[in-house]
Amino acid sequence: MKLLPRLINPISIIAMFAALCEASATTVLPHLDDENRQIYIWFLIAFPSTLVILFFLTLNFNSRVLYPPTEPTSEQSKSSQQAN
């Protein structure tokens, strides 16, 4: 059960999607014809890059959505430290 909190982390979820994309390339790519292979290669390039760009845009403009409700944000920790 200790592994589960690591998988809930947003960057871990992005890494799992990117790894799944690359693992599927290993199995599928040799069996595609040339036309479909070109499309799939562009997907392999664009999908992980798009995930990373969207993650950092989300982090930049709305970082609060990346924290689960049980994990305190830095503002909450500062206010609880000041209250004590």
pTM value is 0.56
Residue 30, pLDDT score: 87
Give the pLDDT confidence of 11-56 residue by residue, as tens digits. 777 788 888 888 888 888 889 899 999 998 898 889 888 988 988 8
Residue 52 buriedness (CB in 10 A; 0-12 / 13-18 / 19+): middle
Domain boundaries, the chain: 33-58
* Residue 25: C-alpha distances to residues 8, 22, 37, 49, 69 (Å): 25, 5, 10, 15, 36
* Residue 68: C-alpha distances to residues 43, 63, 71 (Å): 30, 11, 6
Instruction: Tell me the two tokens of residue 38.
Output: 């070109």
68-72 contacts: CB < 8 A, separation 24 or more?
68/8
Judged against a pLDDT cut of 80, whether residue 71 lies above it is answered with no
Higher-pLDDT residue of 42 and 5 is: 42
